[in-house]
Amino acid sequence: MTRIQFRLLGVVALAAAGAVAPARAQCPDGTPPPCVTRPPRVAAPAPTSVAILYLDNLSRDTADAYLADGLTEELTSRIGAIERLRVTGRSVARHAQQASGGDVAALGRMLGVRYLVEGSVRRSGSRVRVSVRLLRAADGVRVWGEDYDRTVTDLLDLQEDLAREVATNVAGRLLPAERAAIASRPTSDPVAYNEYLRGSYLVTRRTAAALQQAAAAFEAAARRDPRFAAAEARRAYAYGLAYVYGADWAPPESLAAWGTRAAERAIRLDSTVSDSWMAQGITRLWFVPRGVRGASEAYGRATTLDPRNAEAHHAHGVALSMLGEDSAAIASFRRALELDPARAVTLLDLAEVLVLEQHDVEARRLLDSAIALDPAQARPYVNRSFLRLSAADLVGARQDAETGLRLSPRGVRPSALSALAAVNAAAGDTTRARSIVALIEADAWGAADVARALLAIGEPDSALAVLEHAPAAAWLWYTLRFPGFDRIRSHPRFQRIVAASQP
């Protein structure tokens, strides 16, 4: 089984069983996917509700996009620290922004907010021009606006100024604790902060190259400011994701060592911030034998320190699902979606746990939504292939398996091949299915995928032999819970494997 299948942004155990999904999926409200949780419809938005729209990058160099994204996300985070303000999640704001066609009133209704913040960033050399406007969502009237001409080294001051002005114009006079929250800075070094913004932008891309660049940016930030806890925490996070995604720019053992050291430094520097415990969680989950329970505790601490951290709630759900605490995992995933409804990865991972709970129709809806929100990701297609196969939709299952294989990074490839082998076996082409099994066997991390494919071609003894040689870890125990292994579930050899790998 590949590392990607059990990554922080989702533990994959691809399987399908249960009720047949409808040919045309629809959301609970009767609309077509994506089934995105939207703010409740109310007569009037809360008076202190605001959505921070992503700032437009007007720089000539597209490499400067990290500035616009970074300023947007940091502004959202700072304003969100004021509890009496209701701030819309970043990704749902972005998707609504794209869907509104520039109609401010429509965007305000979609997001259910009183105010919108919009603007742009233009960089020229060492100078940055940031234009920001606070609009009344109902009619687009400008409540406040300002143009800032600063140097890149003034970004920390600029963040504070922007957050204070927006918060004051929305909420009125700020309390001392609120002013302190806005003024809080992760570092006093502007160059380190610039590298931190660059790394934070890159780490969300999740590709091997982007993760390598993100880790380098965080390392540069930490060198500039050895006390920069958030940079160390996110560096550990980048190494953990690179390990999980099977990045080939460093050996797995090196990624594990680097990530562990960075996470430990982050905790020593500042154990009061959510990011430090996120770093602990990912390293405990992947680099510590039997570390899943410790990872769950770390993620729980992260959510306590920052209850609005959607990523932390999602990660906690992943760890809880690997412990078999499905109800708690579902609650964590749903909380992440409440905070950030357009998180495709959370829709995907919630769908997997719902398969375990035999809620296949809802799982299919969530997979459709995940694909609609992020069509370039391989895993949702692979998962949906198995669901379609269970519904005897061989054509759709093959299409999804082939799409998943085409989009797969190295870490997802064994899972996509396993789906394709199952489709060929179901179609009666066992020769082709066997040849695909041989391809999966070449991947050292593909043990569970090989076993699944062997079961599909009717070789349970061979599947058991493969599983007996797989590492006894929580990810294996989680995977073996899925219906794809029902054929051998009562076999004594299988039960011993399950017992040995139970967290």
Distances (CA, A) of 277 to 237, 339, 422, 473: 10, 19, 39, 22
The H helix count followed by the E strand count for the chain is 23, 8
Q: How confident is the model at residue 5 (pLDDT cuts 50, 70, 90)?
A: very low
Give residue-wise pLDDT tens across range 215-231.
Answer: 999 999 999 999 999 99
Residue with tokens 């069983």: 17
Give residue-wise pLDDT tens across range 72-109.
Answer: 888 888 888 888 888 887 777 777 777 777 788 888 88
CB 446 within 8 A of CB 45: no
pLDDT score for 35: 54
**Residue 30, Ramachandran bin (φ over 0: left; ψ between -120 and 50: alpha; else beta):** left
> Which domains does the chain show, CATH number per domain?
3-33+346-501 (1.25.40), 49-185 (3.40.50.10070)
Cβ-based burial of 209 (10 A; exposed 0-12, middle 13-18, buried ≥19): exposed
Q: What average pLDDT score do residues 428-454 get?
A: 86
Distances (CA, A) of 489 to 55, 461, 465, 478, 494: 52, 12, 14, 13, 6
What pairs with residue 6 in β-bridges? Answer: 11
Residue with tokens 């509104």: 100
pLDDT over threshold 70, residue 277: yes
Q: What value does the mean pLDDT of the chain take?
A: 86
Q: At 75, list the tokens.
A: 């502004």
H helix intervals, 146-273: 155-171, 176-183, 190-203, 208-224, 229-244, 252-269
pLDDT score for 27: 52
Q: At 277, list the tokens.
A: 């415990």
> pTM score > 0.95 for this model?
no
What pairs with residue 131 in β-bridges? Answer: 120, 147
The pair phi, psi for residue 93, each rounded to 5°, is -65, -40
pLDDT score for 339: 84
pLDDT score for 73: 86
The pLDDT > 70 percentage for the chain reads 90
pLDDT over threshold 90, residue 46: no
pLDDT over threshold 70, residue 58: yes
> By C-alpha distance, which of 102, 113, 138, 105 is closest to 38?
113
What pairs with residue 119 in β-bridges? Answer: 132
Q: What average pLDDT score do residues 394-401 get?
A: 96
Distances (CA, A) of 55 to 122, 218, 424: 10, 23, 47
Q: What average pLDDT score do residues 176-185 get?
A: 89
pLDDT score for 444: 55
Q: What average pLDDT score do residues 335-362 get?
A: 91
Q: At what angle do helices 360-373 and 379-390 cross, to 10 degrees?
A: 150
Bridge pairing between strands 49-52 and 127-136 = unpaired
Q: At 44, list the tokens.
A: 């009037």
Give residue-wise pLDDT tens across range 122-168.
Answer: 998 889 999 999 999 888 899 999 999 998 888 888 889 999 999 99
pLDDT over threshold 80, residue 44: no
